[in-house]
Amino acid sequence: MANVTSTKLEFGHRRAVYVDIKSQLGSFPIPEETIRLYEDYDMIYRTLCGILYNFAPKSGHPGGSISSGRLVASLLFNTMDYDFSDPESLEADIISYAAGHKAMGLYAMWALRNECARISQPDLLPEDKFQLRLEDLLGFRRNPTQETPLFARYRAKALDGHPTPTTPFIKLSTGASGVGVPASFGLGLGAMDLFGAKSPMLHVVEGEGGMTAGRVSEALATMATAQMWNTRFHLDWNQASIDSDFVCRDGDEPGDYVQWDPSEFCYLHDWNVIFVENGHDVHQVLAAQEASKERFNDQPTAIVYRTVKGWCYGIEGKKSHGAGHDFCANGSVSTSRSSVMSQPSPTSRNPSGRRSARSADCLKTTGRSLISSAASWQDRRTAWPLSIGRSGRTRPTWE
């Protein structure tokens, strides 16, 4: 380029805004007890994901299920406005797992939420057919005709490998990369069409790998151009897929799949972006979702959480995509319970520029079983922030 002078291409005008939540944490004070409760809950959740992988047996996607745990728990217990007693309510906020491979995590999260309600506020429970109980996890990746004793004894529900509408609060079947995003966005369009200015919020959970399909770019463009302010896109950016630990460009390091990062990609399409540097830091996650409740403008909003696939599971990155520990192996019983503040940041990398796949330094032996943990929840049930709201919206009156 001896005779050519290059210049830096900048984004043109955007209606959207960009927020780095770490610089705004002072505006969102979170009690230490609340943070501790979320961290304990996540420890139980990660343990359940490990158990489900071994029970199937050795089937499912523990890595992405684990990396998205804290953002989903924050949605269910703090951010979303819905009536737990009525999963079929049209007025309630919607959650859609565009990342269908995280079904293991969805089932574990739903069952734990149900158990928290059963222990602390049983009047919240809907009728049995609309519950996903701990006992129903016996049906993970099982056929409805299963005849094993415990499956039959506890009347467990058959839970597919990818989410389907037979699961409470789930409206769509999702799975293959790129399929869930545009279909999920359609739920937001429908809600806006039905409720107008009083539309419920749509919360879509996806990972960066699922964004690489071309149809996702079209869907993002459509939602931004239509100014679908009721949509929140929660991106679990763990940077790992089935065959790569470097899906997107990261700083100066080229990606193996695409040359953008999720924040840039969403902002390019005129989405508001809230960046969470550490998606395992409960304070940052809660603050980001609180900030997203503010309607900055009429644009949809993406929250990009930087995470580690298989965080504190003992197997990280692509190795945890569709694989995990052997049954009763040391790693399968050492899912850690440790403070997020002692963990390496998801953005830290080794000298080669790529994150280390080792996480032994962040593992601690779990000091209690699921049973004793459940008893612990019962002992302090008055402190558990089970903020499952009851929607104040009303359906339109049709003439």
Mean pLDDT by 10 residues, the chain (399 residues): 83 94 94 91 89 70 85 95 92 92 90 91 90 88 79 81 87 84 96 96 94 94 97 94 89 94 96 97 97 95 94 77 67 50 51 34 29 36 39 42
Residue identified by tokens 């929607």 is 391
CATH number at residue 91: 3.40.50.970
Backbone angles phi, psi at 206, to 5 degrees: -150, 170
SS3 24: helix
Q: What is the spatial distance between Cα 164 and Cα 29, in angstroms, rounded to a whole number?
A: 37
Q: How many domains does the chain have?
A: 1
Burial letters for 83-115: b for 16+ Cβ neighbours within 10 Å, e otherwise?
A: bbeebebebbbbbbbbbbbbbbbbbbbbbbbbb
Q: What is the spatial distance between Cα 126 and Cα 124, in angstroms, rounded to a whole number?
A: 6
pLDDT value of position 344: 53
Q: Are 47 and 79 contacting, i.e. CB atoms less than 8 angstroms apart?
A: no
Let me know if residue 274 belongs to a domain.
yes
pLDDT value of position 261: 95
Q: Which two tokens stand for residue 309?
A: 């696939």
Q: Are 247 and 265 contacting, i.e. CB atoms less than 8 angstroms apart?
A: no
Let me know if residue 2 belongs to a domain.
no
* HSE-CB for 205 with a 13 A CA cutoff: 29
> What does the radius of gyration of the chain's CA atoms come to, in whole angstroms?
21
Let me know if residue 13 belongs to a domain.
no
Q: Are 274 and 292 contacting, i.e. CB atoms less than 8 angstroms apart?
A: yes
* HSE-CB for 379 with a 13 A CA cutoff: 7
* HSE-CB for 188 with a 13 A CA cutoff: 28
Q: Are 11 and 267 contacting, i.e. CB atoms less than 8 angstroms apart?
A: yes
Q: What is the spatial distance between Cα 120 and Cα 378, in angstroms, rounded to a whole number?
A: 6
pTM for this entry: 0.84
Let me know if residue 169 belongs to a domain.
yes
Q: What is the 3-state secondary structure (H, E, C) of 144-164?
A: CCCCCHHHHHCCCCCECCCCC
Let me know if residue 3 belongs to a domain.
no
Q: Are 256 and 325 contacting, i.e. CB atoms less than 8 angstroms apart?
A: no
pLDDT value of position 385: 39
Let me know if residue 264 belongs to a domain.
yes
Edge-to-edge strand list for the sheet holding 301-306: 18-20, 272-276, 301-306, 231-237, 202-207, 94-97
* Domain housing 246: 19-383
Let me know if residue 388 belongs to a domain.
no
Residue identified by tokens 């996650």 is 285
Let me know if residue 398 belongs to a domain.
no
pLDDT value of position 120: 87
pLDDT value of position 142: 79
